[in-house]
A and B are shown apart, each in its own frame.
Chain A
Amino acid sequence: MRTIQFREALREAMSEEMRKDPTIFLMGEEVAQYDGAYKVSQGMLAEFGEKRVIDTPIAELGFAGIGVGAAMNGLRPIIEFMTFNFSLVAIDQIINSAAKITSMSGGQFSVPIVFRGPTGSAGMLSSQHSQAFENWYANCPGLKVIVPSNPNDAKGLLKSAIRDNNPVIFMESEQMYGDKGEVPDGEYLIPIGVADIKRKGKDVTIVSFGKIMKVVLNAAEELSKEGIDAEVIDLRTVRPIDYATVIESVKKTNRLVLVEESWPLGNISTEVAFKVQKDAFDYLDAPIKRVNCMDVPLPYAPSLIEAFLPNIERVVKEVKSVMYRK
């Protein structure tokens, strides 16, 4: 199979859909003439023209709201945030408009819009540029939230997101755009809300999603050298969450570790852990553990970043603790 970059997979998803549906457009900062701040939309202005690939001023609240209005009136916007840190300027339009309008209008209006861009930390950028808002958006009914971890999933899920008739938050990472992975030639869709078992195993279940999946898969390799066979589940979507796949796995392994780049209070790990203790309590042989970020803003210094983020060592340690191994 051919191998392409994460950013190319995203570009293919958008371009393929745009070729088929003339109501789709891409809007955001530097998406057109600059070919994208992270080159995701490279060449799209040349193919689709200024009407459909649109540079905006730095005015997130305004262009997010313009996207929502356009979606209410027959278009299917893709709104790119240079990063999701800047989506906070626009969050009123996402939460109070996009997520609510279908409900408030008694189902008369739908808001088929995708808000996409990178999430999470990306090196020494300090606290305003290093935040993960997956659980914030996932908390809000009316939205769907997708966080793919590889090029194949990114393409199939983004195509589904664009075709979805709800507002969808689609989160990427600066640190994944260059990642290469196998992507089929032909067209395919991946359904929203379905987790994927990235590694089969029998001893312990590790659940994660997004960029940090790389850490988890590497940790699983480390563990296998020590005779621990981990099953790794990639949620891929954090609203809705595919609880069934997780619970089925836990029924087999009887142990669960959740790994998430997020602050610990009220995150996706908390939510999945609640569900598993409620629906699979009798199957658990150990308390559920999680590996998250520290409960502080992420500072600039590398010494502090290292202490803040989930890493292989911490994942291995928590897995061993649920297996009662040293």
Chain B
Amino acid sequence: MGKLKFSKDQYLKWYEEMLLYRKFEEKAGQLYIQQKIRGFCHLYIGQEALVAGAASVLLKDDNMITAYRDHVHPMAKGVTPRAVMAELFAKSTGCSKGKGGSMHMFSKEHRFFGGHGIVGGQIPLGAGIAFADKFLGNDNVTLCYMGDGAVRQGAFHEALNMAMTWKLPVVFIIENNNYAMGTSVERTSNITDLYKLGHAYEMPSSAMDGMTVEDVHFAIEEAVLRARKGDGPTLLEMKTYRYRGHSMSDPAKYRTKEEVEEYKAQDPIQKVLKTIIENKWASDEELETINNRVKDVVEDSVTFAEESPYPEASELYTDVYAEADYPYIVD
């Protein structure tokens, strides 16, 4: 595809963003092994282009929502690595005040509507966020991410039908990494080209290479334009791969080393780096500066998280109801 449609600056931005996502997640994985991060921990390593290719399209007031593999998406919407890392550490300075954790990043300020833990649960919510924008008459667009496993839920089909019928400004993005935990896509349905599910609702639908950030950008750009014009939703199937297990506790025995290597050979960050080097857009020194900057940002996020306090026990009784004086049962 027409790679040169993008500027040097865009490539350097993509490189730095995706490297940050990668290094941040690698760090989170290490910290999980050290038990500084606990609970479930689902890493985005390998899938970075799906979010970087959206960041280069979205406007500030556009919305994003996703499932529980949600450390990276909020950063693309402007949430700081500090706020995400602090949330992973369960600290009160986290983007959900230490109440949501790994699976539940939120930032109203950055129009990030959350990480959601029930597979498929966020899909109608994404359509609903778009419903509100249409109702209110503004031209914001919502990106609603989901895993390949989520498209087998009724919620997906109900939401797609209504979104299409009502022409809601939403883009449904399937992060097709070919596995839902240990279950490969072909074991869950006769329909393995997931974008085709949109055809049942006559929704514009297509598949693309999710390991190539330019392709992701083009697809999202077209879909976002359609939504902004009032022409309704789009379903995008992005073929990608998670290099790590489903979560930190998954040994991933259901796939071969060769399969993992095959995808690593198409690494989205390496591809962007190659383009930068081929075009001589950055010297080794300049790349080193970027790498160091990313390293510093990640380290800084960890220091910030470590030094932040846990929420006070009294925080149990805040943020549950809209009113502060709700009469909880306390025996």
- A residues near B, CB below 8 A? 29-30, 33-34, 37, 55, 57-62, 85-86, 88-89, 123-129, 264-265, 289-290, 292, 294-297, 299-304, 306-308
Contacts and interface: CB of A to CB of B under 8 A. Distances in A.
Contact of B101 (A62, A124, A295): A124
B233 interface: no
B202 to A, nearest CB: 23
B331 A299 contact: no
Nearest to A290: B331
B313 A296 contact: no
Cβ-closest 4 pairs across A and B: A300-B101, A124-B39, A57-B152, A299-B99
B329 A265 contact: yes
B329 A300 contact: no
Interface in B282-331: 310-313, 315-317, 320, 328-331
A85 B68 CA distance: 15
Interface of B: 38-40, 90-92, 96, 98-104, 116-120, 149-150, 152-155, 180-183, 187-189, 254, 310-313, 315-317, 320, 328-331
Contacts, number: 138
A85 B118 contact: yes
B38 to A, nearest CB: 5
B103 A125 contact: yes
Contacts of A303: 90, 310-313, 315
A296 B104 contact: no
B39 A126 contact: yes
B312 A34 contact: no
Nearest to B104: A126
A59 B186 CA distance: 15
Nearest to B315: A304
B306 to A, nearest CB: 14
A115 B152 CA distance: 20
Contact of A34 (B152, B155, B182): B182
Contact of B153 (A59, A265, A297, A306): A59
Given A34-B183, A57-B149, A299-B99, A304 B254 contact: no
Given A34-B183, A128-B116, A295 B98 contact: no
Contacts of A290: 331
Contact of B120 (A58, A85, A295): A58
Contacts of B150: 58
Given A58-B149, A86-B118, A294-B316, A301 B98 contact: yes
A199 to B, nearest CB: 24
Contact of A126 (B91, B99, B311): B99
Contacts of A30: 181-183
A57 B117 contact: no
A307 B313 contact: yes
Contacts of A60: 153
B316 A296 contact: yes
A123 B316 contact: no
A125 B254 contact: no
Contact of A295 (B99, B118, B328): B328
B213 to A, nearest CB: 28
Contact of A299 (B98, B102, B189): B98
Contacts of A33: 182-183, 187, 254
A301 B153 contact: no
B32 to A, nearest CB: 11
A37 B181 contact: yes
A296 B103 contact: no
Given A123-B39, A128-B117, A303-B310, A55 B187 contact: yes
B104 to A, nearest CB: 5
Nearest to B154: A61
Contacts of A297: 320
B153 A125 contact: no
